[in-house]
């Protein structure tokens, strides 16, 4: 559910941006030819940096954040290679697990089951 | 929380719920131990798991114990003699298989929850159990688990 919402959010943001880029009218219609706008000196250095560096970087960071944040918030994900430091938890175990384990011996019972490793 | 720091409260809750429902809906005594065992040698893992199964006391004959050791990357299903007809080794093997593939992908909780459901489904219906147990007893001393 959360995953689907996140995918939708990323799609909506990127679609919006792309649609915005494509919606500029043809420059012919405004009475001047493509290229430098009349009566201006073209892009200034600051404008150029803003347009070609700051805007793309902001977009990149926004999209990256949308993708990475949920995983970072979730946090304590198990990674097989990182080992495990928590003390054992016994769900539905005996009332006093430590004492029960202390005195237990497997005995003669024939037990079944299965093993696996990963 | 860093990786390997244990299960979060919501994850613990999910495991408690599925264990609980196996008892109530299926009358199957399932318990799940999540943690590494103190072992000199991983070949002793099965023996240590059987000893843990024995630690269930009077429940041991009809109990299913799932031992998951995330650091040692081992999983073991141990079934008591009286429950082997309801949960044959074939079913245990399937549950182990689905756990190892989930664990490899980093999802401990879902692997455990799905495995318990699989085992409970295979066991079918049964009279609800009421067992005096701690919902998730923490083993106070790590030395308490494993070989002696």
Give residue B58's pLDDT: 87
Q: Using a CB–CB cutoff of 8 Å, tell me whether A78 touches chain B.
A: yes
Q: If contacts are CB pairs under 8 Å, which of residues 97-116 in chain A contact chain B?
A: 97-98, 100-107, 109-116
Predicted interface score ipTM higher than 0.85: no
B residues 30-69 closer than 8 Å to A (CB): 30-37, 45-47, 49-57, 59-61, 69
A100 contacts in chain B (CB < 8 Å): 55-57
Confidence tier at B133 by pLDDT (50, 70, 90)? low
Mutate to test the interface with B, among A88, A98, A101, A115 (most CBs of B within 10 A): A88
Q: Any CB–CB contact under 8 A between B13 and chain A?
A: no
Cβ neighbours of A89 in B, within 8 Å: 6-7, 12, 33-35, 136-139
Query: What is the tens place of the pLDDT at every residue in B6-23?
Result: 888 889 999 999 999 999
pTM above 0.80, yes or no: no
Q: Is A41 on the interface with B (CB under 8 A)?
A: no
Per-residue pLDDT of chain A (118 residues), as tens digits, is 788 899 999 999 988 888 877 655 555 555 656 666 667 777 788 988 999 999 999 999 999 999 988 777 766 578 888 888 888 999 998 888 888 888 878 788 899 999 999 9
Of A93, A104, A114, the CB nearest to B33: A93
pLDDT-derived band of residue B137, with 50, 70 and 90 as boundaries?
A: low
Rounded to 5°, the CA angle A100-A105-A106 comes to 120
- Residue A34 is predicted with a pLDDT of 64
pLDDT tens track for B53-112:
999 988 889 999 999 999 999 999 999 999 999 999 999 999 999 999 999 988 899 999
Report DSSP letters for chain B, one per residue.
--TTS---HHHHHHHHHHHHHHHHHH--EEEEEES--B-S-GGGHHHHHHHHHHTTGGGGGGEEEEEEETTTTEEEEEE-TTTTTTS-HHHHHHHHHHHHHHHHTT-HHHHHHHHHHHHHHHH---PPP-----TEEEPS-GGGSB--
């Amino acid at each position: 559910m959360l995953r689907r919402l996140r995918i939708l959010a990323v799609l909506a943001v990127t679609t919006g941006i792309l649609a915005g880029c494509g919606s500029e009218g043809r420059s012919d219609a405004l009475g001047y030819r493509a290229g430098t706008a009349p009566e201006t000196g073209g892009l200034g250095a600051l404008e150029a940096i803003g347009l070609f560096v700051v805007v793309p970087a902001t977009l990149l960071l926004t999209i990256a954040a949308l993708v990475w944040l949920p995983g970072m918030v979730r946090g304590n994900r198990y990674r097989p290679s990182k080992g495990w430091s928590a003390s054992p938890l016994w769900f539905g175990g005996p009332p006093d697990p430590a004492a029960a384990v202390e005195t237990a011996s497997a005995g003669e019972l024939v037990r079944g089951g299965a093993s696996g490793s990963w | 929380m860093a990786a390997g720091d244990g299960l979060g409260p919501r994850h613990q809750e999910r495991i408690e719920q599925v264990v609980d429902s196996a008892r109530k809906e299926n009358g199957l005594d399932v318990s799940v131990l999540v943690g590494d065992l103190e072992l000199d040698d991983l070949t002793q893992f099965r023996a240590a798991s059987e000893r843990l199964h024995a630690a269930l006391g009077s429940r041991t004959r009809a109990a299913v114990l799932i031992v998951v050791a995330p650091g040692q990357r081992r999983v073991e299903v141990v079934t008591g003699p009286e429950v082997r007809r309801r949960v044959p080794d074939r079913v245990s093997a399937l549950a182990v298989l689905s756990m190892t593939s989930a664990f490899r992908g980093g999802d401990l909780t879902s692997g455990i929850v799905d495995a318990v459901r699989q085992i409970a489904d295979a066991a079918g219906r049964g009279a609800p159990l009421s067992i005096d147990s701690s919902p998730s007893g923490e083993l106070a001393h790590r030395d308490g688990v494993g070989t002696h």
